[in-house]
Structure 1
Amino acid sequence: MVENAPRKSPVPVWAYVVGALVLLLCLCGVAGVIGFVALRDKAEHGASATGTPGGGDPAVPWQEQLAGISGVQAYTPGALSRKHVAEDAATYPQSPPVGGDHADVWQNCQGTVYSAPLPNARAVHSLEHGAVWIAYRPDLDAAQVKKLSDRVAGHDYMLMSPYPGLDAAVSVQAWGYQLKVDSVDDPRIDAFVTAARINAGPEPGAPCAGGTTETGPLK
């Protein structure tokens, strides 16, 4: 007589429930880690109110984004000289300048709002590091200047200053690029900053700290 094999006990329902909960918790943990890393990377790369570097459509190169902004002038960025010279020896065909020979000390550009004009040669060095420089006509009223400073203050790779003799209300510079507009509310300012900030500089990773905040002659 052949004995029947012992029947296996069915897996209780609670075991399936526990297994599903464990799997769900694991998936939530992985998603949390991915989200944390993404947010950390965004913070480390200097996200700002005016957009992240290379913002806009990620499928469109930043150069094409700039080219698509009406009024942007390009000055052959790769052909601009990058030599260090004495501040008073640097001359520029554009006003404000967009690149070329510059001082060996840069103007700090950590979202720095200057109330006095900057030496061109130091501001150009900041552009080389990837900064965007917002220059404005000194006769703008306080409310207009405040709108500009709100775009700049606290945002790395940005600086702002008055510019005597400016032929527009606002002029925005990156290395090799310039946009002049007649209103502080012009949306092209933000579009320019979004595309050019950090990206346009020929020295990626160069700092905005460690230069100077002095606006007069250096001793």
Structure 2
Amino acid sequence: MTQRQSPGHQGRPASSGPDGGDPDLARRERLAVLRRGEARRARRERRLVVGAIALMATAGLAVAGWAVNAAQDGGGPGGGSAQRPRGPDPDKANVPGERVYPNQARGHRTGGVRYPANPNPPVGGVHDPVWQNAGGDVYERPLRPEHAVHSLEHGAVWVTYGKGATAAEIATFEAKVHGVPYRFMSPNPGQTGAFVLTAWGHQLSVTSATDPSVDRFLGLYTSGPQAQEPGGPVTGGRAEP
């Protein structure tokens, strides 16, 4: 007699996992493994982020602390308790041999101005509204002091030479002036010294361009702290003597 199969099992093989076990159990185990891996990766990333934030915060505190100390000490690293020097004092002599003439008058006046006989050339005072061009200009004739003084007010240095100046020394000074902004040069027959360097309120008389004080004076006062109108123009003014 032929035995009939139950309809519920007809043509259907028995289910099994890879090793003949429950396939759902195997799938759940694989998902658990994946979830544990994701959790470990998430924890590792969180630790990295927290570490980076902590490092940035530490660096920020260090920078803030340095800024406070610098402000209190008046300087940067190694500033100490003393204030850091902030450049030459415009009210004092900063170059050997220079003379200082403080409290110069200011203001504009059209026409001639009677300057004191000494110092010559003048180191400041009331002046013409138009400045003399001082963008490294070298003039072959004397200048009107009213225009030149206006250039001094803007921070220029005026190099002048008298009758005792030699052609070789004049050429050496011209090389220091020509093309250098906030410097200009001209003859000045009325002065007593061979060469005179003039900034607003400051003047140096020398006999030679090789005098060490020359370069120091030019370096300190070319657009220096003595300027009454720092950054004022020295081009676009009077181009002729």
Alignment match, 2:179: 154
Q: Which amino acid aligns with 2:112?
A: D
Q: Note the residue ranges of structure 1 that are not aligned, 5 or more in a row.
A: 9-57
Is the alpha carbon distance of 1:124 and 1:151 closer, same or farther for their aligned partners in structure 2, counting shifts above 3 Å? same
Q: Which amino acid aligns with 1:86?
A: T
1:27-46 correspondence runs (5 A): none
User: Is the radius of gyration larger for structure 1 or structure 2?
Assistant: 2
CA–CA separation in structure 1 for the residues paired with 2:94 and 2:229: 24
- Alpha-carbon deviations, 1:104-162, whole Å to 9, x = none? 11110000000111111111011001100001114423221110000001100000001
CA–CA separation in structure 2 for the residues paired with 1:99 and 1:173: 9
- The TM-score with structure 1 as length reference comes to 0.67
Is the alpha carbon distance of 1:81 and 1:65 closer, same or farther for their aligned partners in structure 2, counting shifts above 3 Å? closer
- Alpha-carbon deviations, 1:7-39, whole Å to 9, x = none? x9xxxxxxxxxxxxxxxxxxxxxxxxxxxxxxx
CA–CA separation in structure 1 for the residues paired with 2:90 and 2:110: 34
2:173 aligned with 1:136: no
Which of 229, 234, 240 matches 1:203?
Answer: 229
Identity fraction in percent = 37
Task: Tell me the matched-pair count.
Answer: 164
- Alpha-carbon deviations, 1:27-86, whole Å to 9, x = none? xxxxxxxxxxxxxxxxxxxxxxxxxxxxxxx8352227962421111111xx21112123
Partner SS state of residue 63, structure 1: coil
Contact 2:165 2:195 in 1 (8 A): no
Q: Which amino acid aligns with 1:191?
A: R
Is the alpha carbon distance of 1:66 and 1:112 closer, same or farther for their aligned partners in structure 2, counting shifts above 3 Å? farther
Contact 2:162 2:188 in 1 (8 A): yes
CA–CA separation in structure 2 for the residues paired with 1:208 and 1:110: 6
How far the C-alpha of 1:5 sits from its partner, in A, is 5.7
CA RMSD of aligned residues (A): 2.3
How far the C-alpha of 1:88 sits from its partner, in A, is 1.9
Would you identify which runs of 4 or more consecutive aligned residues in structure 1 move more than 4 Å? 1-6
Partner SS state of residue 62, structure 1: coil
Which of 184, 206, 214 matches 1:189?
Answer: 214
Q: Note the residue ranges of structure 2 that are not aligned, 5 or more in a row.
A: 1-25, 38-83
Partner SS state of residue 172, structure 1: strand
2:89 aligned with 1:63: yes
1:62-211 correspondence runs (5 A): 62-63=88-89, 67-76=93-102, 79-92=103-116, 93-199=118-224, 200-211=226-237
Contact 1:63 1:195 in 2 (8 A): no
CA–CA separation in structure 1 for the residues paired with 2:86 and 2:204: 20
- The TM-score with structure 2 as length reference comes to 0.62
